[in-house]
Amino acid sequence: MKAFHWILLYCAAPLLSDVQGTYHLMAGDPELMAAQSYAQTRNNGHPPLRTLNPAKTDSQCRSRSLDLVFIIDSSRSVRRGEFEKVKIFLANIVDTLEVGSDSTRVAVVNYASTVKTEFLLKDYFSKLDLKKAISRIEPLATGTMTGLAIKTAANEAFTEQSGARPRSRNISKVAIIVTDGRPQDQVEEVSAAARGKGIEIYAVGVDRADMRSLQLMASTPLEDHVFYVETYGVIEKLTSKFRETLCEVKVEVVEDPCKCEARLAFQKQTQAAIQQLAAKLADVTGRIERLENTVGRA
């Protein structure tokens, strides 16, 4: 029987060697081990934290070419400090865009009881000039004529005379409305007319904004075009949302925390190793059976 045991160990040695080799293959490859660890963590319901490299992310997002018009409420309900936060919000969005005569053009329509076009799509083609122009905007106070502001933007700010590109260029026309109140005029028909001209409308409501009015103004689907924040103090958190919305090609630069490529390589290599081990196991099993038969006959 001792001789049989030695023979059995001799036959199984190649299989044990391959198992050990597979273990050392994974242990010697940090990416494969990380991939295996990730898969185990995910299966346990605890995904790894994703960390972006913010220094690289901005350079990896190219905004669509747009004719973009901001329509901002500066009625009496918007305090001076709150209006300054709106201007910071606009400037931050501008920072995320590729601004230029052949890329994104920006205009601002300011409204209260009256409507004032602060500057046109043809006026500024650099981020610096745009942000300086935004910083100079003053609130108009009194009422909230949102419908009139939308009509003015559609009929004046989005015209070719004001710097909008012709329809044949297929440049997206986008309006972003920021308001904290209920319109004092009708918005449904003028908004529908603006959308009928190919203008995509986003409605941002703050504090006391009327949600029904926001929905009547915005394009569909509403869940992608209507936003609400509790105060002007947190309106800046929508900057990243609009950055994603207006981004044409977005690439997240990450340190590959999920080890996706390594995980695929790990799966392929382990699958191949398992197939080889299974074949060798079948071979060893056959040898053992033949040895048992031989010993039995002896």
Whether residue 109 is found in the same domain as residue 125: yes
Whether residue 160 is found in the same domain as residue 25: no
Whether residue 17 is found in the same domain as residue 132: no
Residue 47 lies in a domain: no
How many angstroms separate the CA atoms of 259 and 255, rounded? 9
pLDDT of amino acid 222: 96
Residue 50 lies in a domain: no
Residue 173 lies in a domain: yes
CB count in 10 Å sphere of residue 199: 22
Whether residue 292 is found in the same domain as residue 172: no
Whether residue 237 is found in the same domain as residue 197: yes
Instruction: Check if the beta carbon of residue 53 is closer than 8 Å to that of residue 119.
Output: no
pTM: predicted TM-score of the whole model, two decimal places: 0.64
pLDDT of amino acid 129: 97
Rounded (5°) CA angle 244-246-251: 50
pLDDT of amino acid 264: 62
pLDDT of amino acid 43: 38
In angstroms, what CA-CA distances link 140 with 56, 75, 173, 205, 214? 39, 6, 26, 19, 21
Q: How many domains does the chain have?
A: 2
pLDDT along the chain (298 residues), means of 10: 50 50 47 41 37 35 84 94 96 94 97 97 97 97 94 98 96 97 96 97 96 97 95 91 75 45 65 75 77 72
pLDDT of amino acid 249: 46
Domain interval for residue 26 = 2-42+256-297
pLDDT of amino acid 280: 78
Strand duo 172-179 + 199-206: pairing: parallel
Angle of helix 80-96 relative to helix 127-135, nearest 10 degrees, comes to: 170
CA 233 to chain centre: 23
Residue 56 lies in a domain: no
Handedness of CA 200, 241, 70, 67 (dihedral sign): negative
pLDDT of amino acid 297: 67
How many angstroms separate the CA atoms of 25 and 10, rounded? 23
**Tokens 């060893």 — which residue?**
284
Read off the CATH number of the domain in which 240 is found: 3.40.50.410
Whether residue 92 is found in the same domain as residue 217: yes
pLDDT of amino acid 252: 41
Please enumerate in sequence order all residues whose Cβ is within 8 A of that of 190, keeping only pairs 6 or more positions apart, or say none: 147, 148, 150, 151, 154
In angstroms, what CA-CA distances link 159 with 72, 109, 113, 120? 19, 14, 23, 10
Whether residue 91 is found in the same domain as residue 220: yes
Whether residue 246 is found in the same domain as residue 260: no
Residue 133 lies in a domain: yes
pLDDT of amino acid 62: 65
Please enumerate in sequence order all residues whose Cβ is within 8 A of that of 32, keeping only pairs 6 or more positions apart, or say none: 25, 26, 262, 265, 266, 269
How many angstroms separate the CA atoms of 202 and 181, rounded? 16
Instruction: Please tell me whether residue 196 adopts helix, strand or coil conformation.
Output: helix
Residue 212 lies in a domain: yes
Whether residue 12 is found in the same domain as residue 73: no
pLDDT of amino acid 45: 40
Whether residue 97 is found in the same domain as residue 175: yes
Whether residue 293 is found in the same domain as residue 232: no
pLDDT of amino acid 274: 77
Instruction: Check if the beta carbon of residue 231 is closer than 8 Å to that of residue 79.
Output: no
CB count in 10 Å sphere of residue 143: 18
Residue 51 lies in a domain: no
Whether residue 284 is found in the same domain as residue 241: no
Hey, what are 226's tokens? Answer: 């209507």
